[in-house]
Amino acid sequence: MALKDAQALAVAKDLDLVMIAPQATPPVCKIMDYGKYMFEQQKREKEARKHQKVIVIKEVKLSPQIEEHDIAYKLKNAKKFLKEGDKVKVSVKFRGREMSYTQIGAAVLAKFAESLEDDGVIEKRAGMEGRSMVMIIGPKPEDKKVVKKVENKAEVKAEVKEAVKEEVKEQ
């Protein structure tokens, strides 16, 4: 169909002529209500964003000379973040002469990771990024399965209770 014929047809139907594939030979066009099309497109994108899981990375900052109590406090926070389903970025910042003793920071991160072994999985091993040594720990994937199992147990218990009530009524 010629361009002028398509435009005349679109005007007659009170719709828009929209070029779908301009790089094709010949270009592909469609007669549609462009405003309605854009509204539906935005609606689909909004719906897709609703169902997305946003990954949040929480940061825990340590130093090479950190004390036991401070590590315990930071561990408690990191465990809380992992249980909420967030990733944890553990960083050790080196200042001045500490840069020549990065093995101390690596030992601190190793001890921290070992303590979080039950709650999370190391996604990125400790590595230097500028003056910091960084490690990323994510929540264990089994945690989601455990929640489903617990829900199923609750459903099973409810079904068992209903079955027992029905048996009692029959007797």
Give yes or no for a contact between 51 and 93, defined as CB atoms under 8 angstroms apart.
no
d(C-alpha 160, C-alpha 59), whole Å: 45
- Among 61, 120, 63, smallest CA distance to 90 is for 61
Instruction: Render pLDDT for 38-84 as a digit per residue (tens, 0 to 9).
Output: 999 999 999 888 887 778 899 999 999 999 999 999 999 999 999 98
pTM over the 0.75 mark: no
